[in-house]
């Protein structure tokens, strides 16, 4: 199997690197293809949100992955992508990132990276994933719009130094490959354990969305599938599959 990043499409301005790959059957068939853009005019976030792009200040890229495991386990790759970014920031910049389920990367109490994983079934129903990663690198939180300035951060702000974005990009691709190889080799437990070690959440109170509105509970950890296990206010165990959680 080819390495992730065997081909890198370097683009100037695109609506969204995820959309670019998701809309092209040719790209989707090419495991390991990566598209990176200097700027996105219609960057997309999880749960239908938009992703704010600032030219030349963020690493914004997407990779096509053909997971060699059953389709039901595809969510694990989404977790592995968050873990890959956390590991890369630690290796390249000696930072201590933490993870928020499913794959936000935090530095202290502020988010530095968001990940959007999308699934497209191939001709024989085989899963093809597009993993889109956005990392805030240059500038300061004050460069963001007022409504998100308090909750985001950048690598430059956290390290107090200029950031070599190419070095971070290379490190993320390498760790992404490592996580991909581990999952394909069946080391699901190891990936979940490494993810959990970077997610200080055991017992923390949270709010989670349900069809009947937000509910309160406590984070218990991850299920074997990479879903979030929550203890409900009534003491039951709930498996949370999708939807933004909020620490309270």
* Interface with ligand BTN, residue 43, by CB under 6 A: yes
* Interface with ligand BTN, residue 134, by CB under 6 A: yes
* Interface with ligand BTN, residue 144, by CB under 6 A: no
Which tokens go with 112? Answer: 């530095």
Q: How crowded is the C-beta side of 70, counted as CA atoms within 13 Å?
A: 4
Which tokens go with 114? Answer: 């968001």
> Residue with the closest Cβ to ligand BTN?
114
127 CB-near residues (< 8 Å, 6+ apart)? 66, 67, 71, 74, 119, 120, 121
Binding residue for ligand BTN (CB under 6 A) from 51, 106, 169, 180? 51
Which tokens go with 157? Answer: 């702000």
Whole-number Å distance between alpha carbons of 67 and 210: 30
Q: Which of residues 1-30 bind ligand BTN (CB under 6 A)?
A: 16-18
**Binding region for ligand BTN (CB under 6 A) out of 55-63, 159-167, 172-180, 228-236:** 55-63
CB of 64 to ligand BTN, least distance (A): 12
Which x/- pattern over 114-133 shows residues binding ligand BTN (rule: CB under 6 A)?
xxx---------------xx
Handedness of CA 136, 139, 142, 144 (dihedral sign): negative
Binding residue for ligand BTN (CB under 6 A) from 31, 40, 85, 230? 40
Whole-number Å distance between alpha carbons of 225 and 247: 22
Give me the torsion for CA of 135, 137, 140, 145, rounded to 10°.
-40
Return the number of the residue (105 or 230) whose C-beta is nearest ligand BTN.
105
Binding residue for ligand BTN (CB under 6 A) from 31, 44, 100, 198? 44
**Binding region for ligand BTN (CB under 6 A) out of 39-47, 67-75, 84-92, 185-193:** 39-47
* Interface with ligand BTN, residue 45, by CB under 6 A: yes
Exposure string for 49-76, b = 16+ CB within 10 A, e = fewer: eebbbbeebbbbbbbbbbbeeeeeebbb
Is residue 190 within 8 A of residue 184, CB to CB? The reply is no
CB of 15 to ligand BTN, least distance (A): 8
Chain positions contacting ligand BTN, by CB under 6 A: 16-18, 40, 43-46, 49, 51, 60-62, 114-116, 132-134
């Amino acid at each position: 199997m080819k390495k992730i990043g065997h081909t890198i499409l370097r683009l100037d301005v695109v609506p969204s690197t995820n959309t670019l790959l998701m809309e092209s059957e040719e790209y989707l068939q090419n495991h390991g293809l990566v598209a990176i853009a200097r700027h996105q005019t219609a960057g997309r976030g999880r749960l239908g949100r938009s992703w704010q792009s600032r030219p030349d200040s963020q690493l914004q890229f997407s990779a096509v992955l053909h997971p060699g495991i059953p389709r039901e386990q595809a969510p694990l790759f989404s977790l592995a992508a968050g873990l890959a970014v956390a590991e890369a920031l630690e290796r390249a910049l000696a930072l201590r990132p933490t993870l928020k389920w499913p794959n936000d990367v935090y530095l202290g109490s502020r988010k530095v990276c968001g990940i959007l994983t999308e699934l497209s079934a191939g001709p024989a129903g085989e899963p093809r994933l597009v993993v889109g990663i956005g990392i805030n690198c240059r500038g300061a939180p004050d460069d963001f719009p007022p409504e998100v300035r308090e909750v985001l951060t950048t690598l430059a702000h956290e390290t107090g130094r200029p950031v070599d974005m190419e070095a971070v990009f290379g490190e993320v691709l390498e760790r992404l490959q490592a996580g991909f190889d581990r999952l394909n080799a069946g080391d699901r437990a190891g990936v979940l354990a490494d993810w959990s070690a970077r997610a200080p959440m055991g017992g923390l109170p949270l709010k989670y969305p349900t069809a009947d509105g937000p509910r309160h509970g406590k984070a218990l950890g991850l299920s074997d599938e990479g879903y979030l296990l929550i203890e409900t206010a009534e003491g039951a165990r709930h498996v949370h599959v999708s939807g933004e959680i909020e620490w309270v």
